[in-house]
Amino acid sequence: MGKDLHYEIIDAPDYKVLAACIGDNPKQQRWSDYPDWGEELLQFHAPDPRLYVGAYKGKNLVGCMIAHPDTLRIRGKSFNTAVIAITEVLMLHRKQGIASKMLEKMLSQITSLGFELVLAFQTAGRGGKNILKRAGFKKIYKYGHAGKVLDKDKMDKLMDLNPILRKIALKIISAKIGETKPVRGVIREVKEDDLDQIVDLLNKESDRLDIASYWTKEYLKKKIDWRYKVFVLEKENAILGAVITYTEIGTLGKDYFTTGFLKEMVFQEGVEDRAKQILVNNVLRRFKEKEIPSISYPYPKNVWRVIKKLGFHVLPGDERTVFIKPLTLPAQQALEVIDKFRYVNVFLIC
């Protein structure tokens, strides 16, 4: 088994073929049902085909592993990092060691390109975890998503799901939105003149975390030019807080619906919880006015306490485990000083 397979760097990706490969997994079917969306997502978030590994049987793609570059901060020190965000093998070709071989190829490629760290995500299930551990990865954290349904009428299909999913759906329906008018300052969409202040807030937050992405003005602007929306709380030309959002194709059971994601929330020190809640509520109202029925937030993060008070609930079965592997001595030494990872905040292709 697997003797006629070969593994290559996908120098010229056919994104529709990749989307079909990823979407062969029933849990990722949106990739095959919406190939144009999948192509856009990959081209934006994983722009370097040198970090695409394919498993082939003859000329047919039967598995893929996709990474993207990032700059991670570990206790204030920056490292050039490759983040392995997607690993999929066609259902008919599983249990042949394909994922392990793709990982070997990817690690060789990442090392040759001069990356200092490699991060990988393993979703529910044990197979991926064992593959990563055998390759020398260390588990550092688990995280999932919390959800809130804003429009019950648009989510009626959820009531036709099995009893377990119905129970989850009923729990996260919380259409009520609290205060949206700030006590001080104004809430508005971002302007280009705000970006330096927002990046400063994001990186101050990164420096408080054990491991976090490092932001630049160019990186944030690129996301905004794509389809991110940023809303700020501003008073007297000072940005007191910012919420970075985008929309995505969400799934629950076999149903698709538009989901709003609260990607990042950062605030100046001293901003009270009520002001944070009002900014988030204001963003939720904007989502609801655009008839986006569901909101998701990756937890735990710096404002989980605030989000929980606004009616968000943890989504069972959505947990991911984060693994890390140092490729250089400085990266290894930076990781060794951390006994227990409390906070991790890095980007994952959803």
Looking at 18-103, which runs of residues are DSSP E strands? Answer: 52-57, 60-74, 77-89
75, 337 Cβ separation under 8 angstroms: yes
| Burial environment of residue 183 by CB neighbours within 10 A (0 to 12, 13 to 18, 19 or more) | exposed
In tens, the pLDDT along 15-46 reads 999 999 998 888 788 888 888 888 888 888 89
Mean pLDDT over 186-191 rounds to 96
Token pair in block for residue 262: 């609260």
What is the number of other CB atoms lying within 10 angstroms of the CB of residue 138? Answer: 13
Question: How high is the pLDDT of residue 272?
Answer: 92
**Phi/psi-derived region of residue 311, left when phi > 0, alpha when psi is between -120 and 50, beta in every other case:** left
Amino acid letter for position 158: L
What is the pLDDT of the chain when averaged over all its residues? 84
In tens, the pLDDT along 56-76 reads 999 999 999 999 999 998 888
Distance between CA atoms of residues 188 and 204, nearest Å = 22
Strand partners, 242: 232, 266
Lowest mean pLDDT among 222-231, 257-266, 270-279: 257-266
Question: How high is the pLDDT of residue 350?
Answer: 46
Question: How high is the pLDDT of residue 241?
Answer: 95
Distance between CA atoms of residues 155 and 305, nearest Å = 26
Question: Which domains are seen in the chain, by residue range?
Answer: 5-136+319-345 (3.40.630.30), 145-314 (3.40.630.30)
Look at residue 308 and tell me whether its pLDDT is greater than 90. Answer: no
Long-range pairs, 13-19, Cβ under 8 A, ≥24: 13/42, 13/49, 13/52, 15/39, 15/42, 15/43, 17/61, 18/42, 18/52, 18/61, 18/64, 18/66
- Distant-in-sequence, close-in-space partners of 25: CB < 8 Å, separation ≥ 6: 88, 91
| Band of residue 169 on the pLDDT scale cut at 50, 70, 90 | low
Question: How high is the pLDDT of residue 331?
Answer: 93
